[in-house]
Amino acid sequence: MLDQSNYQYFDPHIETLPREQIAKLQESRVLQLIPYVYQRSPLVRELWSKAGITPDDIQSMDDFKAKVPFMDKDTIRAYRDQHDDPFGGLTCATAPHLKGVGFTSGTTGDPTPVPRSERHISTESTLREAWQIGARPGDTICDMLFTFRDGLSLDRWMEAGFITAPVQHLPSEIPTFIEVSRQLRPTVLFMLSTPMIMALEQYQKETDDDLTEALSSYKGVIFGGEALNPHFRQLVESWGLEIFILSSLGDIATTMECKAHDGLHTWEDLALVEHLDPVTNLPVADGERGELVVTSLSDDVAPLIRYRTDDLISFTTKPCSCGRTHGRLTPLGRIGDEMIVQGKSILPVDILPLVSEFPETSSGLFQLIRPQREVDVLKLRIGFDPGSLTGELNALRARLLDKLSTELQIPLSIDMISNEELIKNSPPNKIPRVTKT
Ligand SMILES: [Zn+2]
């Protein structure tokens, strides 16, 4: 095997491929994929017949982007329910090629089963990501993964010569995680979430253990699941850890920050990334807000074709200082969460850093009241910690109102509610950021 241990990139050729070669690779993969998927996936045939096209109509990437119909979670679920097909008409291969099933996280409904082959596509992306954090063959990776789409497989790390140490993603498992970290000295943690950071903070308060010492072997910790509250970022950094934000690349692979921390690198050899206006479906300019639409370029089991993710992102193909050439995205939230306040787009991600600046509201618990998408005044419900309150609640409300109005430049009204009350009225383990009432 080629000794890559001194290389900066896991796959130097692919990760630094010039943009025009990425485009050529994508076009050839798309043209190869189309007849394959059309012959095998009943959902694709149904969608294409409704749109009045066949593979003969697609001779170039331009044809693909102009003619191929979109699919989304609802299309797949509807096919699943009508045809009693757990995979929603997406599968192009069965056993023995079909090797396992993972599940989507179910953010916007019930978790969807995702079939996989022997080598899951996210293996490719996560190896590139762990490598650039600094993991090298012989290093240990602490795998503390919450529910994910690849069926919790650990074999992906072994492929690169990493040693896997799995720990359950549960707040009650923090003592195990600390012990594993001290004993095995892992290089990378995959991955932290808000509940686990809160559990680490609690553990530190209760035991007075030195987390900086216990976690000193990590070259990086990967965080995902939702937007990272700046308050929790500071806390994790105070333990001497470098955080790398990771997200899903539309249920196809992962996408993660590099050491430049300037957006999450997509993998354009694995997924065709389109960045479209959710209303007009036209491409959005580099750096602007648009919907992430993805096509799997190397999945022969159940490829997604022009899959609308409902994720709002900004996206750029400008060069990154790390030398990789693949485009970078910044996750902004769900389309269903976006509000237009007097013409201005507002998402929970715009509110979070402002609210968490105040000690009384540093947990960052809040809700946007969204009776409809467009409103004249943004109504917010903000949670506070009564134990941190030093003066009148109305004075805190006034400070928040002043800060948010100045920063966001929109009309606002704010209701204050204790954190406890806000959590009590929410589903378990999740604060709905957007609510109708
Ligand atoms: Zn980079």
Range of the domain at 248: 121-267+314-334
Residue 279 CA to ligand 1 centre (angstroms): 30
Higher pLDDT, 148 or 250: 250
Whether residue 148 is predicted with pLDDT greater than 80 in this model: the reply is no
Is the CB of residue 169 less than 8 Å from the CB of residue 177? no
Residue 226 CA to ligand 1 centre (angstroms): 21
Whether residue 49 is predicted with pLDDT greater than 90 in this model: the reply is yes
145 and 241 share one domain: yes
Q: Is residue 368 part of a domain?
A: yes
Q: Is residue 250 part of a domain?
A: yes
pLDDT value of position 29: 98
Which of these ranges, 206-220, 358-372, 413-427, has the smallest mean pLDDT?
Answer: 413-427
**Prior bond of 144 cis (ω within 30°):** no
Q: Is residue 56 part of a domain?
A: no
217 and 319 share one domain: yes
Tokens standing for residue 391: 């003066």
142 and 238 share one domain: yes
Residue 125 CA to ligand 1 centre (angstroms): 14
pLDDT category at 109 given cuts 50, 70, 90 is low
Q: Is residue 50 part of a domain?
A: no
161 and 190 share one domain: yes
Sign of the alpha-carbon dihedral angle for 74, 77, 83, 87: positive
pLDDT value of position 6: 58
Alpha carbon distance 367, 386 (integer Å): 18
Which of these ranges, 128-142, 145-159, 249-263, 387-401, has the smallest mean pLDDT?
Answer: 145-159
pLDDT value of position 106: 59
328 and 402 share one domain: no
Residue 131 CA to ligand 1 centre (angstroms): 13
Each residue of 53-90: pLDDT tens digit? Answer: 999 999 999 999 999 999 999 999 999 999 999 999 99
Residue 246 CA to ligand 1 centre (angstroms): 13
Element holding 141 (H helix, E strand): strand 140-143
325 and 350 share one domain: no
380 and 245 share one domain: no
346 and 248 share one domain: no
Write phi, then psi, for 304 (nearest 5 degrees): -85, 135
Which of these ranges, 13-17, 145-149, 200-204, 379-383, has the smallest mean pLDDT?
Answer: 145-149
pLDDT value of position 285: 96
Is the CB of residue 99 less than 8 Å from the CB of residue 107? no
Residue 79 CA to ligand 1 centre (angstroms): 39
pLDDT category at 149 given cuts 50, 70, 90 is very low
Counting the structural domains of the chain, the total is 2
Residue 98 CA to ligand 1 centre (angstroms): 34
Domain stop point among 334, 365, 382: 334
Sign of the alpha-carbon dihedral angle for 268, 269, 271, 277: positive
Each residue of 267-278: pLDDT tens digit? Answer: 999 999 999 998
Whether residue 189 is predicted with pLDDT greater than 50 in this model: the reply is yes
261 and 383 share one domain: no
Mean pLDDT value of segment 206-231: 94
Which of these ranges, 45-49, 99-103, 141-145, 205-209, has the smallest mean pLDDT?
Answer: 99-103
SS3 at position 278:
coil
Domain stop point among 284, 301, 334: 334
Mean pLDDT value of segment 360-380: 94
Q: Is residue 147 part of a domain?
A: yes
Whether residue 381 is predicted with pLDDT greater than 70 in this model: the reply is yes
Element holding 244 (H helix, E strand): strand 243-249
Residue 264 CA to ligand 1 centre (angstroms): 8
Each residue of 304-319: pLDDT tens digit? Answer: 999 999 999 999 999 9
Alpha carbon distance 80, 14 (integer Å): 36
Whether residue 145 is predicted with pLDDT greater than 80 in this model: the reply is no
Say which amino acid occupies 79: Y
Residue 292 CA to ligand 1 centre (angstroms): 19
**Prior bond of 191 cis (ω within 30°):** yes
Residue 436 CA to ligand 1 centre (angstroms): 39
Residue 168 CA to ligand 1 centre (angstroms): 30
Whether residue 105 is predicted with pLDDT greater than 70 in this model: the reply is no
Residue 252 CA to ligand 1 centre (angstroms): 20
Whether residue 384 is predicted with pLDDT greater than 80 in this model: the reply is yes
Q: Is residue 398 part of a domain?
A: yes
The mean of the pLDDT values for the chain is 91
Residue 16 CA to ligand 1 centre (angstroms): 10
CATH of the domain at 426: 3.30.300.30
Residue 324 CA to ligand 1 centre (angstroms): 6
Residue 205 CA to ligand 1 centre (angstroms): 36
380 and 328 share one domain: no
Mean pLDDT value of segment 403-428: 89
398 and 321 share one domain: no
Provide the β-strand partners of residue 315: 329
Number of Cβ atoms within 10 Å of the Cβ of 38:
18
Residue 136 CA to ligand 1 centre (angstroms): 19
Q: What percent of the chain has pLDDT over 70?
A: 94
227 and 253 share one domain: yes
How does DSSP assign 365-429, residue by residue?
A: -EEEE-SSSEESSEEEEEEE-GGG--S-HHHHHHHHHHHHHHHH-S-EEEEEEEHHHHHHTS-TT
CATH of the domain at 246: 3.40.50.980
pLDDT value of position 120: 77
Q: Is residue 415 part of a domain?
A: yes
Q: Is residue 63 part of a domain?
A: no
pLDDT value of position 1: 46
Residue positions counted in the chain: 437
